[in-house]
Chain A
Amino acid sequence: MNTDELTTLTSNKIVDARGTACPGPLLAAKKAIGEINSGEIMEIYSSDEGTKNDIPRWCQKMSHEFLGIVEEPSYSRLFLRKA
């Protein structure tokens, strides 16, 4: 999805992992994904550059659908749909 499409999404869950370093955002995502249902959308805030590579790979492994990234001035918003 492109940025415009992503920003119109309403997330069922927002995980704010800004400020934490590896493996913080990944562990936060893992914890939070258990709290939503299949097909729901989760959004992860991260200021850690590596997360942008890590979360898509993690989604692939866990068969969640990675939807895309929206860049904000000091952090990124990563969207995914739970499998």
Chain B
Amino acid sequence: MDLLLNEQLEELKKRFDNLEKGTKDQISVVVFSGDLDKLLAAMIIATGAAAYDMKVKMFFTFWGTAALRDPRKSVKGKDFMGTMFGWMLPRGSGKVKLSKMNMCGMGTAMIKGIMKKNNVASLDELIKIAGEMGVEIALCEMSMNLMGFKREEMIDYPHMTVCGVATFLSDAAESKVQLFI
């Protein structure tokens, strides 16, 4: 009888340990979009979560990666397609546009003006704050390859790595909150 109880207790302990390890006070955000408005939303949520002492993991993929390019950096040795993509895609957070009402850049310029007037932090400032608060950014290697981006042309960000889908999945599985933006 005692033996059976002990066994059950061990089993329960194991399950409890798994539960405790299961989810952390962590948020995973996939940043797929390369639009100014969506990037702003992603960065505001990320910095807000950091203020909540949550561990924040951002995964930049597809169009999102272009927002992390550093306009002052240029890399040599790209192939033809890479050069074309590099030329067509926005060079960093200062060049991304609104998803709606862009109107040849007029809408984006207007919203930036209004944001300044209302003291809303710019995308660039938010990325800098995120870096100071320890928000981790992972770049999707596959997207970088597709678009011909090289690690060397990305911004100097204190917590930046290049990874694949497995890293995202394992982090997301441990997170209480997962977002796709």
A contact residues around B177 at 8 Å (CB): none
**Contacting pair A58 B52 (CB below 8 A):** yes
**Would you give the 0/1 interface string for B35-52, flagging 1 where the beta carbon is closer than 8 Å to chain A?**
000000000100110111
B118, closest chain A residue (CB):
A21
A contact residues around B52 at 8 Å (CB): 58, 61-62
B contact residues around A22 at 8 Å (CB): 44, 120
A27: interface (CB < 8 Å): yes
**Contacting pair B51 A19 (CB below 8 A):** no
- Tally of chain B residues near chain A (CB < 8 A): 13
In whole Å, how far is A1's beta carbon from the nearest beta carbon of chain B?
24
B53: interface (CB < 8 Å): yes
A19 to B133, alpha carbons, bound, how many Å?
22
**Would you give the 0/1 interface string for A16-44, flagging 1 where the beta carbon is closer than 8 Å to chain B?**
00011111101101100000000000000
B119: interface (CB < 8 Å): yes
**Contacting pair B119 A29 (CB below 8 A):** no
B contact residues around A21 at 8 Å (CB): 118-120
Chain A contact residues: helix, strand, loop or mixed: helix
A23's partner among B47, B53, B118 (CB-CB below 8 A) is: B47
A contact residues around B133 at 8 Å (CB): 27, 30
Query: Given A27-B129, A62-B53, is A20 in contact with B48 using a C-beta cutoff of 8 Å?
Result: no
B contact residues around A26 at 8 Å (CB): 48, 51
Max count, chain B CB within 10 A of own CB: residue among A20, A24, A27: A27
B119's partner among A24, A27, A58, A61 (CB-CB below 8 A) is: A24
**Contacting pair B44 A23 (CB below 8 A):** yes
A17, closest chain B residue (CB):
B119
B121: interface (CB < 8 Å): yes
**Contacting pair A23 B119 (CB below 8 A):** no
A contact residues around B129 at 8 Å (CB): 27
B contact residues around A23 at 8 Å (CB): 44, 47-48, 51, 121
B43, closest chain A residue (CB):
A23
A contact residues around B44 at 8 Å (CB): 22-23
A29 to B47, alpha carbons, bound, how many Å?
12
A contact residues around B118 at 8 Å (CB): 21
15 intermolecular pairs with C-beta atoms under 8 Å apart: A19-B119, A20-B119, A20-B121, A22-B44, A22-B120, A24-B119, A24-B120, A24-B121, A26-B48, A26-B51, A29-B51, A61-B52, A61-B53, A62-B52, A62-B53
